[in-house]
Amino acid sequence: AATRRYEWEVSYQFKSPDCVRKLSATINGQTPGPTIRATQGDTVEVKVRNSLLTENLAIHWHGIRQIGTPWADGTEGVTQCPILPGDTLTYAFVVDRPGTYMYHAHYGMQRSAGLYGVVVVVVAAAPGAKADDAEPFAYDDEHHVLLNDWWHNSTYELAVGLASVPMVWVGEPHSLLINGRGRFNCSAAAVPGTCNATSPECDTPVFAVVPGQTYRFRIASVTSLSALNFEIEDGRRRSGGHTTTRRATSAGLLVFLPFPHVHLGCWTLPTQRKWLSRPKSSYFAGSFLKSMVVLLGHEMTVVEADGHYVKPFVVKNINIYSGETYSVLIKADQDPNRNYWLASNVVSRQPATPTGTAILSYSGDRAPPSTTPPTGPAWNDTMYRFQQSVATVAHPAYVEPPPPRADRTILLLNTQNKIDAHTKWALNGVSFTLPHTPYLVAMKRGLLDTFDQRPPPETYAYQGYDVYAPPQNPNATTSDGLYRLRFGSVVDVVLQNANMLAPNKSETHPWHLHGHDFWVLGYGIGRFDPAVHPASYNLKDPVLKNTVAVHPYGWTALRFKADNPGVWAFHCHIEAHFFMGMGIVFEEGIQRVASLPPEIMGCGETNGGHR
């Protein structure tokens, strides 16, 4: 195993990622930052210097479990003090599993300023073998697609707005970026002279392909807010419209139709309304796999999710939530005499942002296609996205069965609340705040006066709770208490979504767990019933992930083993939601953590003498 060394200087620079000039947080002058490419088992060492001048910094390695190095997780307030302007911190950790991951700032709303990038860990090959020999699929080459949403407002403006009374919501993004590039319509620019449509910084990215070859697209979403749908235009849809349909094969191939209410023989996609009017309904993996296949060209075979091989399934387009990664295989099998759009569209929230675009080019020329980019599925077709979630299961040859039962179940009701007129998010009525002394240091040193020692609630009064109505009591409390897990125990977490403060509104929340992967045991729409639903959990081939969607009015059940000594954040990956308290923290095996590097200290009571 090798050590991959990087030296990064993080600084603000004027950039025009969507043609509008904005102060952007860059790494060595670039946003997105450089791609980290390593081999399974390597040590990655990143020396980060904070040259942001007036702003703290922390960088999280999203999806890397940090086994034995919990202090390198990069979570400000949880595992480290922030890196002060002018200071340097070296993150060193082992990338123990192959797959597609990401890194991003984990301080305030800093991610939205442009501080993120892709981490690719390739399979350690046997001597003489090609790396992809060890993977359950083959491809000729790969491309990386980093998806993001982008605001022209500064990260300060966004953060202060959220903290204000009344709250000023961040609003829908101005642009959607693909590999850090987008195109804002300059005639709509708020400040004249800041938009330059000919800036090379907003050139539309081009993905070159060779006819007949198969590509692995590694897709990662670092959005601050948006759920996205990613699609590659095909050559048939608009040139005659002929599609062929056939039954799903025994390999379980299927296509999620881009059209929300298409009738296919005996099988119809239920509309969202139908599901919402059936409060007790829940939906498990399985039934969707009996659907039909439609071949259109440039369809995607999903093969990896969050660093784990999945049972391959074919989609016309893929839904991806903030914090998720996927690998899809795409065959360059369309008419090579023209170019095609890659399109990123907002789903799950009513879109107010133009489609983010890039170009798929067979000839190498950069000409934008004359067609209209795909607009994706209906934004409010919850079931379409739900079905992709339940169809994502472990690859048959890579199933890691979950422990058959849990030692502890934590039921977390996600609600939007008011606290002293501030708008917040809460779990079981408790809105999360970060302590001044990072938990990892506080717990290791027994600085127990630095955070609330009362554990947050394990559940809520679920029997009387109507997830389809605004909370009867909109008030919540704040706490920086954490959940202490018995080392080695098996923990179930059920995330229950509900109606927001305004009626008839429930959003999608992508929850991300640091330090672990979890098995995704089940999803449902409506209220979770602990006496009924666990019986339908998928214990056979659940996928392992680190980020999972909780769908509107729905619940998601997951299981993990508390076997990684450290302190780990678990939160909604929508940056504004975490900022508004939508998160919790787990501690496990703190006494097994080796001595902490002094470089992570310097804030709160961390300098109270070494014990």
Contact residues: ligand C2O, CB under 6 A: 60, 62, 75, 104, 106, 323, 512, 514, 569, 571, 573
Minimal distance, residue 576 CB to Cu ion, in Å: 8
Minimal distance, residue 322 CB to Cu ion, in Å: 9
Minimal distance, residue 456 CB to ligand C2O, in Å: 18
* 252 vs 474, beta carbon nearer Cu ion: 474
514 binds, among Cu ion, ligand C2O, none (CB under 5 to 8 A by kind): ligand C2O
Minimal distance, residue 59 CB to Cu ion, in Å: 22
509 binds, among Cu ion, ligand C2O, none (CB under 5 to 8 A by kind): Cu ion
Minimal distance, residue 167 CB to Cu ion, in Å: 15
104 binds, among Cu ion, ligand C2O, none (CB under 5 to 8 A by kind): ligand C2O
* 340 vs 518, beta carbon nearer Cu ion: 518
Antiparallel, parallel or unpaired: β 518-525 and 356-361: unpaired
* 50 vs 497, beta carbon nearer Cu ion: 497
Helix locations, 424-505, DSSP H: 439-445
Cα 495 from chain centroid (whole Å)? 16
Determine the residue with CB nearest ligand C2O.
62
DSSP letters for 280-306: T-B--TTGGGGSEEEE-SS-EEEEEET
- Cα 225 to Cα 160, 390, 550, 579: the distances in Å are 16, 23, 14, 12
* 341 vs 425, beta carbon nearer ligand C2O: 425
* 338 vs 571, beta carbon nearer Cu ion: 571
* Cβ-count burial 471-488 (b if 16+ within 10 Å, e if not): beeeebebbbbbbebebe
* 314 vs 549, beta carbon nearer Cu ion: 549
The site for Cu ion (CB under 5 A) is made up of: 509, 572, 574, 577
* 75 vs 301, beta carbon nearer ligand C2O: 75
426 binds, among ligand C2O, Cu ion, none (CB under 5 to 8 A by kind): none
Compute and round to an integer the Cα radius of gyration of the chain.
Answer: 23
218 binds, among Cu ion, ligand C2O, none (CB under 5 to 8 A by kind): none
Contact by Cβ (8 Å): 243, 295? yes
Contact by Cβ (8 Å): 415, 495? no
Antiparallel, parallel or unpaired: β 36-39 and 116-122: parallel
572 binds, among ligand C2O, Cu ion, none (CB under 5 to 8 A by kind): Cu ion
> Residue 206: which H helix or E strand, with range?
strand 206-208
Minimal distance, residue 242 CB to ligand C2O, in Å: 42
569 binds, among ligand C2O, Cu ion, none (CB under 5 to 8 A by kind): ligand C2O
The SS3 call for residue 478 is strand
DSSP letters for 527-557: ---TTTGGGG---SSBPEESEEEE-TTEEEE
Cβ neighbour number for residue 394 with a 10 Å cutoff: 22
* 111 vs 311, beta carbon nearer ligand C2O: 111
